[in-house]
Amino acid sequence: MNADPDCIFCRIVAGEIPSFKLLENDRVLSFMDINPANEGHCLVIPKTHVPNLFEADDESLAAVATACRRVADAVRRTLDPPGISIAQANGPAAGQSVLHLHFHVIPRRADDDLLFNWELQPGDLDAIGRLAERIRANLE
């Protein structure tokens, strides 16, 4: 399994740093976030070190997505929050603080003041359509 000795998440996977594990299998580890945005905030990571979404293989992403759903469902049944956000960032400009692919499972409530939501504002449909064509051209 690929690991980075300087990566805190790889060290958690290796058991060098303790964690509050929730779910673990051969591909995925889920554990509680020790700097929670809200009560019940947890993380889901692939055990293999990949810095971001773009470098992950499809099988790892599928395993992480399945684990996210299972963990989110367990959080929902445990805490009964009015909502749950699944958040994932790629690169420091997007807020990624640990350069190991990870997904946040965050229980939400309407008044939690987390800055994940944005105000809906109608876009220019012609410009959106042109951009969609450009993005489709880059799909592999």
DSSP code, position 91: S
Q: Cα separations (Å) of 98 from 40, 94, 113, 132?
A: 20, 12, 23, 30
Q: Quick check: 27 pLDDT over 70? A: yes
Contact predicate 29/61, CB 8 Å: no
Which CATH code is given to the segment(s) 8-112? Answer: 3.30.428.10
83-113 pLDDT, tens digit per residue, is: 999 999 999 999 899 999 999 999 999 888 8
pLDDT reported for residue 123: 81
Q: Known catalytic residues?
A: 102
pLDDT-derived band at 120, boundaries 50, 70, 90: low
Instruction: State the pLDDT at residue 130.
Output: 81
Residue 66 token pair: 């399945």
Q: Which bin fits 29, alpha (ψ -120 to 50), beta or left (φ > 0)?
A: beta
